[in-house]
């Protein structure tokens, strides 16, 4: 899919030049068109939706025996690209381009036959045009090799991401509508059919309204209830497709309800860059919700992890994001997941790491230790991080002059810094110890605050400045 950006450069001016890979759009004729879905289609205003089925080249299958389990279909599972995101103000476009290039190489070199992207393609609902163009280049490159299926996450606008989806070629499926969740993308190989059910991010209230209108069901307002309802529809469709292997794409906070420690583990593996999708306090979806399919390709959590392999054989995994998007992800091993779906429906997975643009580190210490790294060659306890993206906390008793400028001499990729003297409330992570009484003067409150966060008494010049500012703002005698 190539993108042509209009002269205005705005998101609203994006137009699509169709053609993903070498496959031209399939425009149905009147003799082969599916029944019209609505009055507009019946009147010829809208083209009928093309078939979602595609067939892999025969040579791609039956020649690989991963893990010694026999011929299988190989799928690359990725999610949470967050195109357009920055890291503490640092542009990540080049990092995204590198990650996408690595993913494309993996597709070409590892015998991948399908790519699935499980949500949060963009970082915001109205993405910058540069992010839109980057996605266009990424999808075009991937579609030159294999079919690609894309679903929206909670960061995406389903309407914007899915614009023009009914016109895409048989190599590209952007599936964003709740109504289509139980309408799979059908693929086939020499062992039979594979149905991929692309669930968009499920807004609990939207699903409640849909269930009320479609099935006259009044669902609880929760992610769990919404997901269970949609998966019941998926299983009902799958029941009509005997001997079909099934994959579900979903974007949710999924836990193993049988493991009491699972929610805590997921919390630890989460990150600051994941937007909360809590709804009414019921923010998680049990893994058992997805029973009955071979593999569940999850998005939302940025750390790769296997959630569960149930007794029924369902494997539930997060691929994690391809890049580190916050310092809370500094220890994550980023990559993609290769999924081998065998002829009998059993699943094996392999995590393939992606090279990151830089290491990330959170460092803490006195300024003098940091400045040792500015020497040639770098020395001191932080010398190994001079090329890293760093978040630095300086612990000197008094805030050093030109602290940022001094730190940059040693750490040119400094992203954030702060001053927290050892022993202060900020350093120990506790709030101010004393309460503020109703009759306390503004000057007294300010003095208490300053001495709480910066040890030592105010010198006469500092006190004079505070008194003058307080008098100017609150009046004489404050």
Kindly state the percentage of the chain with pLDDT values over 70: 70
Q: What is the pLDDT of residue 310?
A: 59
Q: What is the pLDDT of residue 433?
A: 46
pLDDT over 90 at 126, yes or no: no
Q: What is the pLDDT of residue 478?
A: 58
Q: What is the pLDDT of residue 450?
A: 76
Q: What is the pLDDT of residue 437?
A: 57
Q: What is the pLDDT of residue 313?
A: 82
The four Cα atoms 353, 354, 358, 360 give a dihedral, to 10 degrees, of: -40
For residue 54, what pLDDT band results from cuts at 50, 70 and 90?
Answer: very low
Pick 427 or 327 by higher pLDDT. 327
Residue-wise pLDDT for 330-344, tens only, equals: 999 999 999 999 999
Chain centroid to CA 328 = 14
Residue-wise pLDDT for 380-406, tens only, equals: 999 999 999 999 999 999 999 999 999
How do beta strands 335-342 and 72-78 pair?
antiparallel
Distances, alpha carbon 5 to alpha carbons 29, 121, 126, 150, in Å: 30, 19, 15, 21
Q: Rounded to whole angstroms, how far apart are CA atoms 325 and 302?
A: 9
* Across 253-257, 329-333, 409-413, least confident range: 253-257
Contacts of 354 (CB under 8 A, 6+ apart): 99, 102, 103, 322, 323, 334, 335, 336
* Across 97-106, 108-117, 120-129, 450-459, least confident range: 450-459
Say how many C-beta atoms besides its own lie within 10 A of residue 478's C-beta: 15
Q: Is 24 left (phi over 0), alpha (psi -120 to 50) or beta?
A: beta
Q: In 3D, which of 394, 462, 455, 386 has the Cα closest to residue 402?
A: 394
Q: Rounded to whole angstroms, how far apart are CA atoms 86 and 389?
A: 13
Boundaries of every domain in the chain: 2-28+41-353, 360-474
Chain centroid to CA 209 = 26
* Across 200-209, 228-237, 306-315, least confident range: 306-315
Q: What is the pLDDT of residue 454?
A: 61
Residue-wise pLDDT for 414-442, tens only, equals: 999 999 998 765 555 544 445 555 567 88
Q: What is the pLDDT of residue 471?
A: 84
> 2-28+41-353, what's its fold?
Purple Acid Phosphatase; chain A, domain 2 (3.60.21)
Q: Rounded to whole angstroms, how far apart are CA atoms 227 and 144?
A: 33
* Across 113-117, 128-132, 428-432, least confident range: 428-432
For residue 76, what pLDDT band results from cuts at 50, 70 and 90?
Answer: very high
pLDDT over 60 at 325, yes or no: yes
């Amino acid at each position: 899919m190539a993108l042509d950006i209009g002269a205005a450069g705005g998101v609203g001016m994006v137009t699509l030049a169709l053609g993903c890979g070498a496959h031209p759009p399939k425009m149905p004729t009147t003799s082969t068109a599916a029944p019209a879905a609505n009055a507009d289609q019946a009147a010829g205003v809208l083209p009928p939706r093309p078939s979602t089925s595609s067939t892999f080249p025969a040579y791609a299958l039956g020649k690989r025996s991963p893990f010694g389990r026999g011929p299988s279909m190989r799928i690359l599972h990725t999610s949470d690209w967050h195109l357009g995101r920055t890291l503490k103000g640092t542009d990540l476009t080049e990092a995204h381009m590198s990650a996408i290039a690595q993913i494309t190489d993996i597709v070409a070199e590892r015998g991948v036959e399908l790519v699935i992207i499980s949500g949060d393609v963009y970082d915001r609902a109205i993405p910058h045009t540069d992010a839109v163009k980057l996605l266009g280049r990424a999808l075009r490159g991937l579609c030159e090799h294999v079919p690609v299926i894309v679903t929206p996450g909670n960061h995406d606008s389903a309407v914007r991401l899915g614009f023009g989806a009914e016109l895409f070629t048989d190599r590209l499926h952007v599936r964003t509508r709740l109504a289509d969740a139980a309408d799979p993308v059908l693929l086939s190989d020499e062992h039979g059919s594979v149905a991929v059910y692309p669930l968009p991010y499920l807004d609990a209230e939207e699903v409640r309204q849909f269930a009320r209108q479609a099935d006259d069901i009044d669902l609880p307002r929760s992610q769990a209830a919404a997901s269970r309802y949609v998966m019941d529809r998926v299983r009902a469709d799958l029941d009509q497709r005997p001997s079909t292997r099934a994959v579900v794409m979903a974007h949710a906070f999924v836990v193993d309800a049988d493991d009491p420690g699972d929610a805590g583990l997921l919390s630890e593996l989460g990150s600051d860059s994941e937007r909360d999708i809590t709804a009414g306090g019921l923010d998680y979806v049990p893994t058992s919700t997805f029973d009955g399919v071979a593999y569940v390709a999850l998005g939302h959590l940025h750390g790769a992890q296997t959630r569960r392999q149930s007794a029924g054989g369902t494997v539930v995994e997060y691929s994690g994001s391809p890049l580190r998007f916050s310092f809370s992800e500094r220890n994550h091993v980023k990559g993609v997941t290769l999924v081998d779906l065998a002829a009998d429906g059993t699943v094996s997975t392999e995590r393939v790491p992606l090279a990151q643009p830089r290491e990330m580190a959170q460092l803490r210490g006195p300024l003098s230790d940091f400045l040792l790294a500015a020497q040639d060659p770098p020395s001191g306890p932080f010398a190994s991080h001079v090329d890293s993206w760093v978040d630095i906390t300086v612990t000197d008793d008094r805030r050093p002059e030109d602290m940022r400028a001094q730190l940059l001499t040693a750490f040119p990729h400094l992203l954030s810094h702060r001053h927290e003297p050892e022993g202060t409330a900020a350093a120990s992570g506790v709030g101010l110890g004393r309460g503020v009484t109703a009759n306390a003067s503004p000057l007294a409150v300010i003095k208490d605050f300053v001495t709480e966060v910066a040890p030592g008494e105010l010198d006469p010049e500092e006190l004079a400045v505070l008194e003058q500012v307080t008098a100017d703002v609150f009046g004489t005698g404050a």
